[in-house]
Amino acid sequence: MPPGRPWAARPPRAIINDRLLSACDGPEGSTPLHEEVRQNLEHLWQYGGNRDAKTPGRRPEWIFIRPDFLLQQPGADYAPALARLVPAKGLPLRLELLMLFDAQCRYRPGERARIDRTFEDVESNAPIKSWQKVVLSDTSSDYREAGALRGRQIKEALRVLDKQHLVAIGPDKSRPGRRDLNRIMLLSEASTPVSRPKYTVPEGGVYVSRHFFTSLWVFALTNTEIAVFLALSARRRAFPLAHTASGVFVLQKHRRQFGLKDNTWRSQRALHHYGLVNRVHDKERDPQTGRIPDYGTRWKKNEVMPTRFTIIDSALEQPAVPTIDRVLNNPTPEDQWRQWFT
């Protein structure tokens, strides 16, 4: 590595959330961006983008994701889209999930979805908000530049999704050879390099509470935290009775199906700290060191139990950014108890 060129370091988790907490499109005293985006996504869920902004929309309680988005298909030479998006910096994974939520709030199962959002400013009472008004990100800039910078982040994310065959960007009619980022076609979240069908709203699949979006967990969680949450959601769908009774577990052979790296799975600790999942360890495991006494002997006797997880959907109703801020900076006794049993 050349001298004077230090390794890029990701900011500590608390700093990432602090930036989301303080992001704002106006001068000091204006509504924080996380509150504005939360209100806009709640409005989208309530009214589905109806032009009069009064007629109730579909109001789906669950947002469905096709399993192929998460799981490696037998014989496939490529990782599922989730695994391909986790390493991508910025907004690609969040934007992909946001578009699925947007589509299911506005269209019925089996219907083709259109992306109507643009980057131009629109009137404050317009039923379809611009991209910048439904996306929360850390711009780390003066409020006069924040919206424009967020717009560039969204455009870059759309280009990544285009390369991953999850959206198609239409041509720019005024500039031959260029593409128009205001003309986006949503492709199936199960698209591959060889199959790119247009997106239609699914009738079922891996299900996630709508509060994952309207409470802004989709923006407040990191890519790896989102990936683990979706993977556990897939396990819940596959084994609903086990999830209800004792929780689901993910062994090494299951991890390979998701195509996620081992360090990604460590994010389950953060999900536990935030109260989004409950964890039950092997009763013999030391809660401080994580070690299991006499592991070899107990393993041979099939006595070692994997960690089991239960998703707590009601926890998603809490606003994500303030909740993470509390857990990291001013934990309650319950938060401290969860952190103790890591």
Return the number of other C-beta atoms located less than 10 Å from residue 70's C-beta.
26
pTM of the model: 0.89
Higher pLDDT, 236 or 147: 236
The DSSP string of 32-98 is BHHHHHHHHHHHHHHHTT-TTS-S-----SEEEE-GGGTSPPTT-SS--HHHHHTTS-SSHHHHHHH
Given a contact cutoff of 8 angstroms between Cβ atoms, the answer to whether 249 and 82 are in contact is no
Task: Retrieve residue 249's tokens.
Answer: 């577990």
- Comparison of pLDDT for 292 and 104, the residue scoring more: 104
Lowest model confidence (mean pLDDT) among 53-57, 138-142, 245-249, 318-322? 138-142
- Listed in order, strand segments (DSSP E) in the chain are 62-65, 167-171, 179-186, 206-209, 277-280, 308-311
Alpha carbon separation from 101 to 140, 168, 256, 313 (Å, rounded): 27, 18, 27, 17
Which has the higher per-residue pLDDT, 41 or 183? 41
Cα–Cα distance measured from residue 67 to residue 258, given in angstroms and rounded to the nearest whole number: 10
Indicate the pLDDT class of residue 326, thresholds 50, 70 and 90.
Answer: very high
> Which of 187, 123, 181, 186 minimizes the C-alpha distance to 152?
181
Model confidence over 180-221: pLDDT tens digits?
888 899 999 999 888 899 999 999 999 999 999 999 999 999
Instruction: Give the tens place of pLDDT for each residue, 232-283.
Output: 999 999 999 999 998 998 888 778 889 998 889 889 999 999 999 998 864 5
- Three-state DSSP at 207 gives strand
CB 110 within 8 A of CB 58: no
